[in-house]
């Protein structure tokens, strides 16, 4: 079951990477787009063992790095942090959909700030971007809107494909 | 990440990136084929709804331009000259050889990279400038695989600096400041800079060979006077990166420089150095 969950998470992350780089290059309301790869990492990390969840985050970020031209591992590291924060805070997903959605927003913000900080340290100058505040505000909001639909959908998908959740995250969203 | 940076974007990292992009490019093209018409349709609808607002914005823009025309007496002559230059430029062999490409993808949330559907198989190589449909410089090819290439926008801090010429002949350097922003720096400035002045690439002759001559780069956003001989002012880029769909890659140089390592970013080393090799390319290209 664990491997099936990981496989399902990996497929979701890969599809999300494809959607992120192709669909959301033309759909950018107010100059920003949701980070669907991170959303899928969060969704997968809720269901996976902590070590596997962190690995999923790293692979998702690395895939995005490979499809762009940022230093390899920049997003990988940021998404790993995002997956780690998800693992540490996944109890909150048991308190119902509103709390889960807000948690997704918080995790997205943490990941973006991490990405910007590391990018700045490695010469990308991300924190100096004039649009960074807008990005830091809009992307978590977009992810929260998407999470409204994706969290229950993922709950249903993982339950039906890979069985019930572990005891540490038993409540349904 | 450290390995990737120390390898100057070459080696295993570049191979992995190329492989991933070769695999994903057809999928991205397929997704785009489905999504683009839907987006265009919804754009059309939203444009209808916002027609009045757009009309007002254009009216304001016309008023602003009329004020600028009144302030700058030589504007008409300059426009005429620029139009002539544009017509001449489009006739040059270099521009006839330009490779048109579609923007098929974009990097992650904080990665401004654009991906185009033309690669080394079409004569696209790292270091070549990329312009939009209006001929404005929007970026530089950073990596190229057989069927696709990555473009670093000039607004990115990762893009090499662009040496530009002002209408009064002063020379400055434009650097990317992140999403959608540029900054003009003039060292040893003698005259003030006026808002609305058009900046064009300085090359290929003189100290900068990194770009062809007279590509539109941006417009000075506000007036600035020299302070201790230095001018630093914001510049609005000419190209609209948010709504970019089609671009053209200028074969400049027509092939990668042999002395550069695999995956090395030629533009970065050429801005300051002004390689003599490009001089030969210049003669051949134009």
With 80 as the cut, is the pLDDT of residue A77 above it? yes
Do A64 and B16 count as a contact with CB atoms less than 8 A apart? no
B103 touches chain A (CB under 8 A): yes
**C-alpha distances out from residue A11 to A37, A48, B26, Å:** 11, 14, 18
Instruction: Give the residue on B whose Cα is nearest the Cα of A30.
Output: B242
% of chain A residues with pLDDT over 90: 50
Average pLDDT of span B24-46:
79
Q: With bands split at pLDDT 50, 70 and 90, how would you rate the model's confidence at B165?
A: confident
Closest-CA residue to A162 (of A37, A32, A10, A56): A10
Average pLDDT of span B258-276:
41
A41-69 pLDDT per residue, tens: 999 999 899 999 999 999 999 999 888 88
Question: Considering only CB atoms, which chain A residues are within 8 Å of B110?
Answer: 70, 112, 115-116, 119, 124, 126, 135
A120-133 pLDDT per residue, tens: 888 777 777 777 88
Interface pTM, i.e. ipTM: 0.72
Q: With bands split at pLDDT 50, 70 and 90, how would you rate the model's confidence at B267?
A: very low
Please report the pLDDT score of residue B5 as a whole number. 59
Q: Which residue has the higher pLDDT, B49 or B269?
A: B49
Domain boundaries, chain A: 2-22+33-165
Question: Considering only CB atoms, which chain A residues are within 8 Å of B35?
Answer: 22-23, 26-27
B270-281 pLDDT per residue, tens: 333 333 333 333
B56's CB contacts (< 8 A; 6+ apart) are none
Average pLDDT over all residues of chain B: 74
Average pLDDT over all residues of chain A: 87
Q: For chain B, what is the total number of helices (H) and then of strands (E)?
A: 7, 12
Q: Which of A140-154, B85-99, B198-212 has the lowest mean pLDDT?
A: B85-99
Peptide bond just before B21 cis, omega within 30 deg: no
Average pLDDT of span B171-193:
83
Instruction: Give the residue on A whose Cα is nearest the Cα of B109.
Output: A35
Query: Which DSSP string corresponds to A91-134?
Result: GGGGG-HHHHHHHHHHHHHHHHHHHHHHHHHTT--GGG-TTHHH
- Model confidence pTM above 0.90: no
DSSP A90: G
In Å, how far is A58's CA from the nearest CA of chain B?
Answer: 12
Please report the pLDDT score of residue B142 as a whole number. 87
| Distance (Å, whole) CA B65 – CA A137 | 34
A83-94 pLDDT per residue, tens: 999 999 988 888
B245's CB contacts (< 8 A; 6+ apart) are A26, B102, B103
DSSP B29: H
Instruction: Give the residue on A whose Cα is nearest the Cα of B263.
Output: A69
B186-244 pLDDT per residue, tens: 888 888 888 888 898 887 654 455 778 888 889 998 888 888 888 888 898 887 777 77
Domain boundaries, chain B: 1-286
């Amino acid at each position: 079951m664990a491997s099936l969950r990981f496989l399902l998470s990996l497929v979701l992350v890969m599809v999300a990477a494809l959607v992120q780089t192709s669909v959301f290059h033309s759909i950018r309301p107010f100059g920003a787009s949701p980070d669907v790869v991170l959303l899928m990492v969060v969704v997968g990390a809720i269901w996976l063992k902590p070590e596997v969840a962190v690995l999923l985050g790293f692979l998702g970020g690395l895939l995005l790095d490979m499809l762009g031209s940022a230093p390899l591992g920049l997003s990988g590291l940021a998404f790993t942090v995002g997956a780690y924060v998800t693992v540490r805070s996944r109890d909150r997903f048991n308190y119902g959909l509103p709390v889960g959605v807000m948690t997704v927003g918080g995790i997205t913000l943490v990941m973006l700030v991490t990405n910007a900080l590391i990018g700045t340290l490695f010469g990308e100058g991300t924190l100096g971007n004039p649009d960074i505040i807008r990005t830091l505000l809009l992307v978590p909001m977009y992810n929260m809107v998407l999470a409204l639909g994706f969290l229950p959908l993922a709950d249903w998908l993982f339950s039906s494909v890979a069985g019930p959740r572990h005891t540490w995250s038993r409540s349904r969203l | 990440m450290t390995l990737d940076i120390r390898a100057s974007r070459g080696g295993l990292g570049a191979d992995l990136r190329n492989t991933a992009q070769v695999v994903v490019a057809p999928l991205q093209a397929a997704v785009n084929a489905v999504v683009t018409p839907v987006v265009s349709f919804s754009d059309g609808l939203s444009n209808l709804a916002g027609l009045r607002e757009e009309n007002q914005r254009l009216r304001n823009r016309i008023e602003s331009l009329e004020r600028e025309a009144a302030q700058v007496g030589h504007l008409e002559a300059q426009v005429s000259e620029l139009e002539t230059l544009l017509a001449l430029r489009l006739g040059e062999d270099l521009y006839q050889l330009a490779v048109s490409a579609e923007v098929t993808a974009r990097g992650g949330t904080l990665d401004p990279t654009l991906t185009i559907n033309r690669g080394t198989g079409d004569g696209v190589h790292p270091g070549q400038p990329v312009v939009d449909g209006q001929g404005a410089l929007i970026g530089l090819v950073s990596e190229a695989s057989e069927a696709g290439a990555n473009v670093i926008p000039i607004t990115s801090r990762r893009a090499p600096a662009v040496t530009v010429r002002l209408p009064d002949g002063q020379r400055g350097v434009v650097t990317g400041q992140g999403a959608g922003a540029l900054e003009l720096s003039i060292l040893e400035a003698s005259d003030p800079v006026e808002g609305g002045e058009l900046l064009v690439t300085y090359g290929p002759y003189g100290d900068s060979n990194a770009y062809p001559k007279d590509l539109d780069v941006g417009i000075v956003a506000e007036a600035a006077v020299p302070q201790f001989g230095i001018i630093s002012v914001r510049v609005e880029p000419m190209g609209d990166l948010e709504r970019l769909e089609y671009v053209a890659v200028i074969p400049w140089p027509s092939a990668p420089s042999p002395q550069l390592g695999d995956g090395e970013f030629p533009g970065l080393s050429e801005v300051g150095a002004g390689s003599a090799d490009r001089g030969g390319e210049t003669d051949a290209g134009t």
